[in-house]
Structures are given as structure tokens and as C-alpha cells.
Amino acid sequence: MAKALRIKFQPPLAITLLILGFFVFLPMLSAFEYSIRTPLTGGYGWTHYIWAVTEEDFLHYILRSMWLAGVTVLITLFVLVPTMTWLHLSNSKVRGLIDGLSLLPLVIPVVAFAVGAQISFPEFVQNTVLELPFLYFVLALPYAYRSLDIGLNSIPLKTITEAARSAGANWLRTITSVIIPVIRGSVMATIALTFALSLGEYTLTVLLHWDTFPTWVTYVAQDNILGAIAISMMSLIIPFLILTVITLFVPERTIQGRK
Amino acid sequence: MSSKSLSLKNISKRFGNVNALDNFNLEVGVGELVALLGPSGCGKTTALRVVAGLEHQDAGTVLVADKNISDVPAHKRNMGMVFQAYSLFPNLTVEENVAFGLQMRKVSKHLRLKKAHELLDLVGLDSQSKRFTHQLSGGQQQRVALARALAFEPEILLLDEPLSALDAQVRVNLREEIRRLQISLGTTTLFVTHDQEEAMAISDRVGVMNNGVLEQIDTPDALYNKPASSFVASFVGTMNRIPAHISNGMVEIFGSKVVALKRGNESGKVHALIRPESISVVATTTQGNAKVLTRSFMGASSNIICQTADGTIVQSLMTSASTGDLLPGSSVQLRILSSEVLVANV
């Protein structure tokens, strides 16, 4: 940690961060500035934020989107971690194929994907909102896959897996007690990417006629655009805070090790 | 200690077209340390991995104390293993690494940490118990790996070239430490290495493997002095192969007739297999039977490389005190010191 804080000033790094800040934070700051305007009285205030949190559907939709995102994260970890561990350990030829397949959600139009994927589900899944996490999982696959892939490539996976097994750990314990903690950074990135993508997903949700937080924001925006921007700001800040809290509370032990 | 005997019966294992193990048999007694020695790709690591349950044999059985464990998964075999590559869990401290096997066996935290400290004390690293593994040297990491493998009192200890990534001095120290621990704990141990000095130094018996087959298994002394095959003779230690004639069970070498230990033809051309220490080199002012090519000083002993009149290169190992006048280019007389030699077909 101490080392990380002693990074020297490097002009290329500073310029990159400046450009990144310009493209990422300037639009966010502008949106924030816009959302705290009070056109009727002039100046700034929290009017729209107060309006948003007192809207009776606000809590309902934000909670719904969050638990759907949570289920998506669980599906992603449950499916991807064991599968990718197996792919890395077996050196199977299908790994290249699956690498390519994992990119398909980026090129398949959401309309085609939504309809095609939905009809492949059993009817009892189609009829509930629980179909969304499975579809969000597919949409997040290109990012989640690559994030875990980097983590698994960076460790001596075969040796530590065999060491764990010979010390008495079954496959489940090997994955939960050894592999996931060792690639914690990648797992956290996967959780963050999947959670954020699921929370903000709009197109597919609308196509399948479900209502979640993003669709509700669009609906609200028709009557109160400033209120909708305030809600959007909160939808950015709330997951950010949640992920920050998760990161802080998970013991900080990565492959480099920490005191 | 709950050490048990190990037995491999008729084990065969193929990888594609490669026969890694071919009808392989091995017996390791309770508390014995047996090394498997051989060149790369001879199947020694495969044999170890079959015992550990990390590979499954195509045929044959693995028995521990006469109980067939061929289909028991790796995590239920109760075997400690130390790997060639550093295999410690980087997210755990040293003591947590050592206690890992006990944690998997649901031993209480208090007891497993107590045991971990006992083992760390045995390998001289108790003071490092709170450190993370990246803060240790290679030798220390392998010591921790050894402590981890022994902490849950395994029935068999498996060592897969645990010293090959270490510096020469650390290797020598650690191999002695492994032997000391193995004897004091009485753990049945199978040790795989390609380093013959390592194998000979610490093993009760050494098995020499070639092409998936156990060529010979014997005490280090017997393996060196009575090799069962030409391969073992050449692989273990240094061996001169000197062209000679055999007739009536006698071989003539450097003008002396010695008894041939039968390994090759009964008569005609053969190769006499002679250790460097069984050949003496004496400087001569007259026409000798060889010339000195090089003399390498190695402290107490010196290595003399000579060439005979027919072009054969002969290596001799002598005490340095008697080699002072053996300068490169000087004429010398070679003599055989043993009364019997192994012979191999040309």
C-alpha cells in the first residue's frame, strides 16, 4: 500500500488521467449541476432529489433493480468461476472457441437476443421477472469473462489447485477457499461490472415489457426531466457507494499479499 | 504418525502416443524414503501424480497399507505433497498455509494453529508465521510447503522435485532437513528428482526409471556399484565405456586381465564399464598408453581426462595430492584398480 502512495509524478500518466477526468467527470458534474438547479426560484437546491426520494415508486424500483443485479452477479460467479477454472486447468481446445463465443453478446442485436433467448426459457421462467438476471448475465459475459480470465492467467492455477486438493480440499472448497480469494481483484471487478451493467440495463428490459429502475426513470422523465436527472445521479452514486463498501469490508489480501 | 506402506501394482498410463508408465511396480515400506530418479520424460512425476490421485492410471492399482485407493479422489487420500513450483497460497499467511490441511479436516482453529506452530518450529520458521508468502525466500517457501504437507500427519509424503528451483547451497541444506524430518517423524516418503546426488544422499532406496519402466531399485550403494543395466550404469554416476575384448570370462583393459561381470556378449568386442575412481593415471617418462588432455582441480580430488592411442576418452578421479605431475599433453600409464568390471555390448 505504502508503495502505491509513493508513485512519482509522471507527465504521461497525469495527461491520461486529465483526459479521462474530462470525459468521465465533466459530463457527470454537468448533470449534477443541472439536477440541483431550481428554475422557479433561481439558484440551486435539493428540490429534485427530495422529490425523487419521496416518490412512492422510487424505493420499489431501485430495490428491484438492485436485487435483480445481485442475482445476476450470483449467476455470473456460480457459472463462470468453475467453468473458467476448468477451462484453464484442462487446457482444452474448446477454450479458444469459448473465448470467441463470450464476445457474441457484443455483436448480436439486443432485439434478436431478447426474443431468441426468451423463447428458449421454460414458461415458468418467462412469466417471472427472474428471466432478466439470466439475460443480464449473457449481456455482461464479455466483460465478466475477460476480467476473470486475466485473474486466472496471472496465478499459478494448476499448482495451487493441486496443492489445495492434496491438502484435503474438495473442488468446492478449492474454488471458494483458494481460487476466489487469490484472484479477489478480478472477482471484485467482475462483480462491479456485472452489477453496474445489470442495474443500468434498459433496452432489453423494455423489449421484454418489464419495469425496473431505468425504465421507471424514463417514465418519470416525461413529467419532470430535472427530477429524472436527479434520480439518474443517485443511480450512479448508490451502486458506487455499495461497491466501495463491499471492497472495504472484504479482507484485503491479494496475490501480492498485504500486511 | 500414521505412516503406511505404499504399493503400486502394474500401473500403466498413456498420454496420447506416449507411454508414461508401462506396467510399473513399486513397493515403499513404512517409514522408508524412496527416490524415483530418471531423465526428463521417464515417467517419474507421472508415477507420483498417480499416487497423489492427481492423475488416474489407465490400468493397475495403488495400495496404501494393502487398501486399494485407486479410485479415491485426491482430497481424500491423506497424502502430503510438496511441489517443484512454489505452491503456497498467496492470500494466506505462513501459519494459515500450514494450517490449511487441518482446516479442511475441520480441526478447531486453536488446535490447528498450535499444530502449525509446531511444524513451523520444526522447519525453523516459527518467527515468520505472520508473514505472507511473498515475503519469504525460495528456500523458506519450500520449508513452509513441507510443513504444510506434514501438518495433517499424512499417510504418505510425496515430494515432486521440491529442491530444483533453489540455489545450490540451499538445496543441500534443505535436502538434509527433509531427511532429518522424515526420519524423526517416520513418514513414508516418495521423492521424485532428476538430480542423482540428491537422490543418493537422502534415500533409503533409489529407483532408476527409463521410458516408463523401473530399471532398478536398490540402495544407493548397490545402485552405484552393481548397476543392473547399461542404462543404470551410465545414468548413475560417471562411467567410462572402454572398448575391449572378452574371452573366457576375462576382459583385457590397459594390458591387465580382469573378470567380466556378465551383462553383454560372451566373446568378442564389448564395452568395459569402469568408474573414474577405478582407473589410476601415473606419469611416465617412457611411451605410456595415453595422454593427459585436461586436469580439473576440485579440492581433495582431481578429475583427469585422458585419451588412449585408439582415441578413447577416459576419465579418472584421483586424490589431488597424487596428480601434481599430470600436466596436459604428458604421457601417462592408465591402470585399472578393480579386479572385475561390468561389460556391455558394443
Which residue ranges form the domains of chain B, and what is each CATH number?
6-232 (3.40.50.300), 239-345 (2.40.50.100)
pLDDT number for residue B263: 61
pLDDT number for residue A6: 60
| Residue given cell 437476443 in the structure block | A113
pLDDT at B346 over 90: no
Say how far apart CA B59 and CA B46 lie, in whole Å.
Answer: 13
Taking CA–CA distances from A159, the nearest residue in chain B reads B87
Contacts of A163 in chain B (CB under 8 A): 81, 83, 87-89, 145, 148
**Residues B68-78: tens digit of each pLDDT:** 999 999 999 99
> In order of start, what are the domains of chain A with their CATH numbers?
8-44 (no CATH), 54-255 (1.10.3720.10)
Q: How crowded is residue B192: how many other Cβ atoms within 10 Å of its Cβ?
A: 26
- B88 contacts A163? CB cut-off 8 A: yes
Q: Which residues of B240-263 are buried (b: 16+ CB within 10 A; e: fewer)?
A: bbbebebeeeebebbeeebebeeb
**How does residue A166 score in pLDDT terms, banded at 50, 70 and 90?**
very high
Q: What average pLDDT does range B196-214 have in this prediction?
A: 93
| Residue given cell 576419465 in the structure block | B315
Ordered DSSP codes for B195-218:
-HHHHHHH-SEEEEEETTEEEEEE
| Number of helices and strands in chain A (H, E) | 16, 0
Q: What angle do CA B129, B133, B134 make, to 5 degrees?
A: 135
- B73 contacts A169? CB cut-off 8 A: no
Give me B227's grid cell: 548397476
Q: What average pLDDT does range A217-233 have in this prediction?
A: 84
pLDDT number for residue A1: 42
Taking CA–CA distances from A183, the nearest residue in chain B reads B91
**Residues A179-214: tens digit of each pLDDT:** 999 998 899 889 988 998 998 888 899 988 889 988
- B85 contacts A182? CB cut-off 8 A: no
Q: How crowded is residue B221: how many other Cβ atoms within 10 Å of its Cβ?
A: 10
Cβ-Cβ contacts under 8 Å between A and B: the total is 89
Contacts of A169 in chain B (CB under 8 A): 75, 100, 104
Ordered DSSP codes for A47-84:
HHHHHHHHSHHHHHHHHHHHHHHHHHHHHHHHHHHHHH
Q: What average pLDDT does range B239-250 have in this prediction?
A: 88
Q: What average pLDDT does range B184-199 have in this prediction?
A: 92
Reported pTM: 0.82
Taking CA–CA distances from B132, the nearest residue in chain A reads A257
Contacts of A184 in chain B (CB under 8 A): 91
Contacts of B75 in chain A (CB under 8 A): 165-170
Q: With an 8 Å Cβ cutoff, is A175 touching chain B?
A: no
**Residues A102-125: tens digit of each pLDDT:** 999 999 888 888 888 778 888 877
**Residues A137-152: tens digit of each pLDDT:** 999 999 999 999 999 9
Residues B73/B153, Cβ–Cβ less than 8 Å: no
- A255 contacts B89? CB cut-off 8 A: no
**How does residue A255 score in pLDDT terms, banded at 50, 70 and 90?**
very low
pLDDT number for residue A250: 61
Collapse the DSSP code of B98 into the 3-class scheme (helix H, G, I; strand E, B; otherwise coil) and give the result: helix
- From the CA of B205, how many Å to the nearest CA of chain A? 25
pLDDT number for residue A110: 86
- A253 contacts B135? CB cut-off 8 A: no
Backbone Cα Rg of chain A: 22
- B90 contacts A257? CB cut-off 8 A: yes
Q: Closest Cα partner for B103 from A90, A174, A80, A35? A: A174
Q: What average pLDDT does range B95-117 have in this prediction?
A: 94
pLDDT at A64 over 70: yes
* Mean of the per-residue pLDDT values of chain A: 85
Contacts of B97 in chain A (CB under 8 A): none
